[in-house]
Amino acid sequence: MEKVDKDDKIKISFTINGEKKEMEVKSNQTLLTFIRDDLGLIGTKYGCGEGSCGVCTILMNGNPAKSCQYNVSAIDGKNIITIEGLSGEDDDLHPIQKAFAETGAVQCGYCIPGLILRTKWLLEKNPSPTREKAKRAISPILCRCTGYRKIIDAVMLASEKMEVD
Amino acid sequence: MSGRENNSEIEERQIVGKNVIRTDAERKVKGKTVFGFDYGTIAKRRFDDLLHIKFVRSTHGHSKIKEIDTSKAEDMEGVVGIFTHEDVPDVKFTTAGQSYPEPSPYDTKVLNEKIRFYGEPVALVAAESEGIAEKAAEKIEVEYEKLPVILDPEEAIESEANIHEGGNVQDEIDVEVGEMDKSIENSDVVIEREFETQIQKHCHLEPHACVTRIDENGNLLVESTNQVVYHVRRILSNIFDIPYGDIRVKSWEIGGGFGDKQEMGIEHYATLVTVKTGRPAFAYFDRKEQFFLSRRRHAAKLKVRIGADEDGTINGIHIDATSDTGGYGTHGTTVTSNMGTMTLPLYAKDCENLKFTAKVVYTNKPPAGAFRGYGTVQGGFALECTIDELAEKLGLDPIDIRVKNAIEAGIIDPLSKVISEGGKIIPREIKSCGLKETLVKGKELFDWEEKGKEGRDVEGSKRRGIGVASAMKGSGVVGFELASSHIKLNEDGTVQVTTGASDMGQGLNSVLSQIAAETIGINLEDVKMVSADTEKTTFSMGTYASSGTYMEGRAVKKAAEELRGKILERAGEIMDEKPEELKAENGKVFVKEDPERTIEVEKVAMDTIYGEKKTQLEGFGDVEDILSPPPFSTHLVEVEVDVETGEVDITRYLTLSDIGTPINPIAAEGQIEGAVTQGIGYALYEELRFDEEGRIENPSFRNYHIPTSDEVPEIEAEFVKTHEPSGPYGAKSVGEIGMVPPAPAIANAIYDAIGVRFRELPITPDKVLKELKSS
């Protein structure tokens, strides 16, 4: 990371959704604002700005991170995945995305990008979690619509599907 | 059992009644869906001249503004406009997104000179960037003349300090059918109990957001996240004196509404800035502002009096409510009226003596509004806990006493003869009713009797208990609402279906697509929905009062039937058959007697547009609500109460609901599961707390806890199918009914576990411990 001018901008390099980038960015902004306002990736949501709801979750070097809680400089040298980076090259649904659609886990859908990314992290760590483990693993992300049952169904279905693959 | 439909009809269905993947799911799981808040981000990138709006919010709960010094803020570079009560149109209105004339008082302006709740906007700052707007807002100095802050409704009734001219009682309700007093006199037992419910917050994860601008045609374009675009257009037209046709209100996808967006919550602020400056403007609430500035559930104090015979026959019920509408009366009368009208008829099988009295009271709390359950939640808690106590007093099983008195099909809702939310009295007959079945089947599925016999002690400090509660709701508002839909056939055999209502996440567009596809006889993927846009759709009331499937569904079905008729007619001309000999299914028209003879809808469509006889095939449907058929539901719950920590753990949660015939059962399950989860939060921990000034003490998700995935049980959603003759394919509503029984069912189960009746919500561990100590 290199300071471009002393007030405002920094130069950072990072990989986002498979694409390497080197950019001069405003230093006094959160990672969430950068992703949405500068990169235009609006699949990462704003919910509370204080790290309580988790709808701004992205993957940073494979781990879930609440992007509203980081300064943009945090991604320097890191590998970032947002929801837009999950579908395949031909825009096919990832098995986790498919599972969320099939089990009825999606209502308003505002929390879904964060939940899907957190599920990806979970299943990479633990390809066949128990329902109890799945419930605990997704608990940092709030959903006000579903009651979570169908979200857990989605995590379990995704786990099955990915095991078979 | 009334309202049964013959099976052959059901079997013939291709799409309706099946578990289908929601048509919006794919875009949502890809993160491609644009929500209202997201459109703000898009606008920031798209419009160089976009103004950012920030609020200056009052630091007193009740005061008069003496002076606002904006000079320091005005001097800042990048500040474009500062607007106070002196700059707003001199028009009073209600922010309630209801049909006209709204049953809510016109008691607010865009910005008010008198402040009626802590955090109420005093001024708006519009600036070139959000940062500048924020800094400028901090530099605005406001001098207040403080007035006494009144937070308790009962105190407000007595107080001489008026929050609004005309006193603090915003409205009173007093209705009765039959002879209540006499029914009490003639009863073997009388039970009277008092209850208190708290303030719950919607907590939809997408905040309010709105972008306004003068569009390329010179019209005011309002792009928002809103359940009621047509009502918002009407209210804005009234405030800003702009003809309806010159305003376009559109809702992008809604990231949860639950009633909070059945309101003009933010649109008037952004509109003011665009009207004053001519520039595009973006306003949103950050999470803290969301807590202070958007609506919340009415707190209520309720009294229930029931007279019954020894055998459990209920003779009369009286509910009295005092509800806290806060600084403004938006939805005050109607929410409060639902505390009685949507609960009392539940046991009206043989009981025609029903009385409902209420006061709607202004206080210096943030204004209450519409919230899933809309008064029924508060009234239902009081009624269903009292029924449980009545059963105990009579030595009857709480399910049996409900079965004995449960309303049935064929009964005219007694209260509908004397009171109507929309003002027009239309007695409503219950045409379909599975309430009794939800109770009987629930008893069996839950193993109620066996569970009742089990011991109360679990291991260690835990005590087990079971509880039950039932509920009814409506489907829309009787005599008050209009929905309409237009469908056009495209050249390729796909259709464009419009609805003025918003999908707020419940899956309305998907359900309407199913209805359209089924009715026309095409495939689901050939339906394209256009919704919630006053320029592109015909009028619809919007999405509230559990009306989506019932009202919009009927409108779409009517429009689709008209279009289907025209398609069959044209197909008949091409095939040289009479239209009545034809049927359409899955995108093909075939001869009923000779199904091998077919023509694709696509070919028919091409022929209508480009063939010899050119015509645009279309269908239109509009419907009124004259019945608002109630869905019914019974919830059975098992809890374990830890007598050492006071914590309540829900170990089983079973729901049985009569929502008519579900259009998309898996989506309907989701509605119940979600509503119950909000109901569990309401029962056990959710509560906005206030300090003496009326300032919210817990305006964040850190301090206002909503249920997380590791806290809620796996809710079982069963349906007792009925066929609602007035509904689309037999459907009633599902959005709100699941919100009502959780609190009383859980309270009743806690009593069963530890022998303490909680009549105040939420039932927190502290309260449980306190009661256990004193008992």
Q: Would you give the DSSP letter of residue B129? A: S
Q: How near does any CA of chain B get to the CA of A21, in Å?
A: 20
Residue whose entry in the numeric block shows the structure tokens 């599907």: A161
Angle CA B79–B85–B86, to nearest 5? 85
Spatial distance between the Cα atoms of B402 and B396, rounded to a whole number of angstroms: 10
B135 touching chain A per CB within 8 A: no
**Residue-wise DSSP of B514-529:** HHHHHHHT--GGGEEE
Model pLDDT for residues B25-36, shown as the tens digit of each residue: 999 999 999 999
Q: How near does any CA of chain A get to the CA of B671, in Å?
A: 7
B35 touching chain A per CB within 8 A: yes
A39 touching chain B per CB within 8 A: no
Is pLDDT at B12 greater than 90 in this prediction?
no
B773 touching chain A per CB within 8 A: no
A123 touching chain B per CB within 8 A: no
- For B:245-304, CB contacts with A below 8 A are 253-256, 258, 286-287
Cβ neighbours of B491 (radius 10 Å): 12
Nearest CA in chain A to B25: A101
CA atoms within 13 A on the CB side of B328: 31
Q: Which residues in chain A are contacts of B676 at CB distance < 8 A?
A: 147
Q: Which residues in chain A are contacts of B715 at CB distance < 8 A?
A: 147, 149
Spatial distance between the Cα atoms of B628 and B477, rounded to a whole number of angstroms: 6
- Which segments in chain A show pLDDT lower than 70? 1-7, 165
A133 touching chain B per CB within 8 A: no
Nearest CA in chain A to B286: A48
Q: How near does any CA of chain B get to the CA of A24, in Å?
A: 17
In order of their start, the domains of chain A are: 2-85 (3.10.20.30), 95-164 (1.10.150.120)
Model pLDDT for residues B550-574, shown as the tens digit of each residue: 999 999 999 999 999 999 999 999 9
CA neighbor of B569 nearest in space, from B489, B638, B623: B489
Instruction: State both tokens at A51.
Output: 């790290």
Q: For the purposes of burial, counting CB atoms within 10 Å of the CB of B775, is it exposed (0-12), middle (13-18) or buried (19 or more)?
A: exposed
Q: Which residues in chain A are contacts of B25 at CB distance < 8 A?
A: 100-101, 106, 109
Model pLDDT for residues B487-538, shown as the tens digit of each residue: 999 999 999 999 999 999 999 999 999 999 999 999 999 999 999 999 999 9
Q: Which residues in chain B are contacts of A136 at CB distance < 8 A?
A: 709-710
**pLDDT band for position B11 (50/70/90)?**
low
Model pLDDT for residues B644-665, shown as the tens digit of each residue: 999 999 999 999 999 999 999 9
Model pLDDT for residues B397-420, shown as the tens digit of each residue: 999 999 999 999 999 999 999 998
Helix (H, G, I), strand (E, B) or coil at B455: coil
ipTM: 0.97
Model pLDDT for residues B700-711, shown as the tens digit of each residue: 999 999 999 999
User: Which residues 6+ apart lie within 8 Å of A19 measured at CB?
Assistant: none
Question: Are B710 and A116 an interchain contact pair (Cβ–Cβ within 8 Å)?
Answer: no
Model pLDDT for residues B96-152, shown as the tens digit of each residue: 999 999 999 999 999 999 999 999 999 999 999 999 999 999 999 999 999 999 999
Contact predicate B512/B523, CB 8 Å: no
Q: Would you give the DSSP letter of residue B750? A: H
Question: Are A84 and B709 an interchain contact pair (Cβ–Cβ within 8 Å)?
Answer: no
Instruction: State both tokens at A13.
Output: 């390099």
Model pLDDT for residues B328-343, shown as the tens digit of each residue: 999 999 999 999 999 9
Nearest CA in chain A to B44: A37
Question: Are A42 and B31 an interchain contact pair (Cβ–Cβ within 8 Å)?
Answer: yes
Q: Which residues in chain B are contacts of A82 at CB distance < 8 A?
A: 31
Question: Are A116 and B286 an interchain contact pair (Cβ–Cβ within 8 Å)?
Answer: no
Residue whose entry in the numeric block shows the structure tokens 């609901």: B657
State the best of B205, B290, B663, B702 to mutate against chain A, taking most chain A CBs within 10 Å.
B205
Contact predicate B699/B690, CB 8 Å: no
B326: left (phi over 0), alpha (psi -120 to 50) or beta: left
Contact predicate B365/B117, CB 8 Å: yes
Q: Which residues in chain B are contacts of A143 at CB distance < 8 A?
A: 205, 709
Spatial distance between the Cα atoms of B118 and B293, rounded to a whole number of angstroms: 9
Spatial distance between the Cα atoms of A46 and A69, rounded to a whole number of angstroms: 11
Was domain B36-147+207-253+261-293 assigned CATH 3.30.1330.200? no
State the best of A46, A118, A136 to mutate against chain B, taking most chain B CBs within 10 Å.
A46
State the best of B709, B710, B711 to mutate against chain A, taking most chain A CBs within 10 Å.
B709
Question: Are B506 and A151 an interchain contact pair (Cβ–Cβ within 8 Å)?
Answer: no
A36 touching chain B per CB within 8 A: yes
Spatial distance between the Cα atoms of B109 and B111, rounded to a whole number of angstroms: 5
Q: Give the model's pLDDT for residue A1.
A: 60
Model pLDDT for residues B187-210, shown as the tens digit of each residue: 999 999 999 999 999 999 999 999
Question: Are B507 and A146 an interchain contact pair (Cβ–Cβ within 8 Å)?
Answer: no
B735 touching chain A per CB within 8 A: no
State the best of A37, A108, A111 to mutate against chain B, taking most chain B CBs within 10 Å.
A108
Of A87, A91, A142, which is closest to B706 when you measure between CB atoms? A142
Pick B423 or A13 by higher pLDDT.
Answer: A13
Of A45, A82, A146, which is closest to B674 when you measure between CB atoms? A146
Residue B197 CA, chain-centre distance (Å), reads: 18
Question: Are B505 and A152 an interchain contact pair (Cβ–Cβ within 8 Å)?
Answer: no
Q: Given 3.40.50.2300, 3.40.50.1980, 3.30.365.10, 3.40.47.10, which CATH number is that of B299-477+627-774?
A: 3.30.365.10
Spatial distance between the Cα atoms of B544 and B111, rounded to a whole number of angstroms: 26
Model pLDDT for residues B275-311, shown as the tens digit of each residue: 999 999 999 999 999 999 999 999 999 999 999 999 9
Q: Which residues in chain A are contacts of B683 at CB distance < 8 A?
A: none
Architecture of domain B7-33+481-624: 2-Layer Sandwich (3.30)
Residue B435 CA, chain-centre distance (Å), reads: 21
Q: How near does any CA of chain B get to the CA of A88, in Å?
A: 11
Instruction: State both tokens at B733.
Output: 């509503």
Angle CA B541–B473–B706, to nearest 5? 90
Q: Which residues in chain A are contacts of B19 at CB distance < 8 A?
A: 104
State the best of A55, A148, A153 to mutate against chain B, taking most chain B CBs within 10 Å.
A148
Question: Are B31 and A93 an interchain contact pair (Cβ–Cβ within 8 Å)?
Answer: no
Question: Are A93 and B30 an interchain contact pair (Cβ–Cβ within 8 Å)?
Answer: yes
Of B22, B41, B203, which is closest to A42 when you measure between CB atoms? B41
| Cis preceding linkage at B101, omega within 30 | yes
Angle CA A49–A50–A52, to nearest 5? 110
Question: Are A52 and B700 an interchain contact pair (Cβ–Cβ within 8 Å)?
Answer: yes
Core vs surface per residue B371-392: b (16+ CB within 10 A) or e: bbbbbbbbbbbbbbbbbbbbbb
**Are the folds of B7-33+481-624 and B299-477+627-774 the same?**
yes
Is pLDDT at B9 greater than 60 in this prediction?
no
Question: From residue A109, how far is each of A55, B513, B708 by CA, in Å?
Answer: 10, 18, 16
Model pLDDT for residues B722-770, shown as the tens digit of each residue: 999 999 999 999 999 999 999 999 999 999 999 999 999 999 999 999 9
Model pLDDT for residues B529-544, shown as the tens digit of each residue: 999 999 999 999 999 9
Residue B327 CA, chain-centre distance (Å), reads: 21
Question: Are A144 and B203 an interchain contact pair (Cβ–Cβ within 8 Å)?
Answer: yes
- For A:75-114, CB contacts with B below 8 A are 82-84, 86-87, 91, 93, 97-98, 100-104, 106-113
Q: Give the model's pLDDT for residue B3.
A: 44
What residue ranges do the domains of chain B occupy?
7-33+481-624, 36-147+207-253+261-293, 299-477+627-774
Question: Are A142 and B206 an interchain contact pair (Cβ–Cβ within 8 Å)?
Answer: no
Task: Calculate helix-pair angle for B553-575, B601-610, nearest 10 degrees.
Answer: 80
**pLDDT band for position B1 (50/70/90)?**
very low
Contact predicate B89/B239, CB 8 Å: yes
- For B:659-688, CB contacts with A below 8 A are 666-667, 669-670, 673-678
Q: Which residues in chain A are contacts of B294 at CB distance < 8 A?
A: none
Q: Which residues pair with B654 in a beta bridge?
A: B636, B716
Model pLDDT for residues B375-398, shown as the tens digit of each residue: 999 999 999 999 999 999 999 999
Q: Which residues in chain A are contacts of B20 at CB distance < 8 A?
A: none
B37 touching chain A per CB within 8 A: yes
Q: Give the model's pLDDT for residue B421.
A: 84
**pLDDT band for position B2 (50/70/90)?**
very low
